[in-house]
């Protein structure tokens, strides 16, 4: 509110705001969950002959996406493109991520394909968004194919990207493939982290493979990767369901040390 008052005072004193001023206020309005006010300011900015840049455009898109106003965000996106704005990887990432979270998989995939038609190269963040979205849609084979494709295009997946796909395979009960991906991480000079092992342990326990879960837990500790509370809880729950109450108690006491 103070920033808006100062902005109004500037205009009253005939001090013309520049692009940076408009963008800062617009970002503030979006963060305050006031995207429609931000949009009005955006239109005012353009009517006064002040050209927005990619930061301005993306801030407005982000504002609508964060509030899950997807259709409005898509309308803005299309109108921006008509005005000659090239969204870039950040603009596409924001929309694709929001569409996947709304389970609008087809539209997300269409936008991703549109990027290649416009010669925009996806980055690691966007590939990870795509892999997560495809995995959550149960399309793990497509997600795996995309992982291979990004590697061929010179984008090296990090541990987080692998974890996303490993979780997808675990959720589908494809545990051998999940384990293979865990072993593959080191090929790219990366290392499985606590999250990797926790995902695998949760997946094994959900499918009644407590022995395999215990083995992964021991492997994790040997490599100096400290289990989180989620890891302990998953294995304890799995042991209890398998009737191994005594071992579950021992693990519980170990967790408290």
Set out the domains of the chain in order of their start, with CATH numbers.
1-85 (1.25.40.10), 95-178 (1.25.40.10), 193-257 (no CATH)
DSSP codes of every residue in 223-255: TT----HHHHHHHHHHHHHTT-HHHHHHHHHHH
Tell me what percent of the chain is helix, strand and coil, each rounded to the nearest 5: 75, 0, 25
Within 13 Å, how many C-alpha atoms sit on residue 80's CB side? 25
Whole-number Å distance between alpha carbons of 15 and 125: 40
Whole-number Å distance between alpha carbons of 109 and 103: 11
Dihedral angle of Cα 19, 23, 29, 32, to the nearest 10 degrees: -160
pLDDT higher than threshold 70 for residue 9 = no
pLDDT tens, 183-227?
898 777 788 999 999 999 999 999 999 999 999 999 998 988 889
Q: Sorting pLDDT into bands at 50, 70 and 90, what band is 257?
A: low
pLDDT higher than threshold 90 for residue 62 = no
State how far the alpha carbon of 39 is from the alpha carbons of 20, 91, 95, 204, in Å. Answer: 16, 16, 17, 48
pLDDT tens, 241-252?
999 999 999 998
pLDDT higher than threshold 60 for residue 2 = no
Enter the pTM of the model: 0.85
């Amino acid at each position: 509110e103070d920033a808006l008052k100062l902005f109004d005072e500037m205009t009253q004193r005939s001090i013309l705001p520049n692009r940076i001023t408009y963008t800062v206020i617009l970002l503030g309005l979006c963060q305050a969950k006031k995207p429609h006010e931000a949009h009005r300011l955006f239109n005012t900015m353009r009517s006064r002959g002040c050209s927005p840049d990619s930061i301005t455009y993306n801030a407005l898109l982000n504002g609508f996406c964060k509030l899950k106003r997807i259709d409005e965000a898509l309308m803005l996106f299309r109108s921006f493109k008509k005005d000659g704005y090239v969204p870039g990887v950040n603009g596409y990432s924001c929309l694709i991520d929001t569409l996947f979270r709304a389970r609008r998989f087809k539209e997300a995939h269409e936008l991703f394909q549109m990027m290649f038609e416009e010669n925009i190269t996806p980055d690691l963040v966007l590939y990870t968004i795509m892999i997560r979205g495809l995995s959550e849609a149960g399309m793990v084979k497509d997600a795996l194919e995309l992982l291979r494709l990004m590697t061929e295009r010179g984008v090296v997946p990090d541990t987080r990207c692998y974890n996303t796909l490993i979780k997808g395979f675990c959720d589908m009960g494809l545990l051998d493939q999940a384990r293979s991906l865990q072993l593959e991480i080191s090929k790219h000079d990366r290392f499985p982290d606590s999250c990797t092992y926790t995902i695998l342990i949760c997946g094994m326990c959900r499918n009644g493979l407590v022995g395999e879960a215990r083995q992964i837990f021991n492997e994790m500790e040997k490599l100096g990767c400290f289990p989180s509370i989620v890891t302990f809880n998953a294995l304890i729950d799995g042991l209890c369901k398998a009737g191994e109450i005594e071992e579950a108690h021992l693990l519980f006491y170990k967790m408290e040390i």
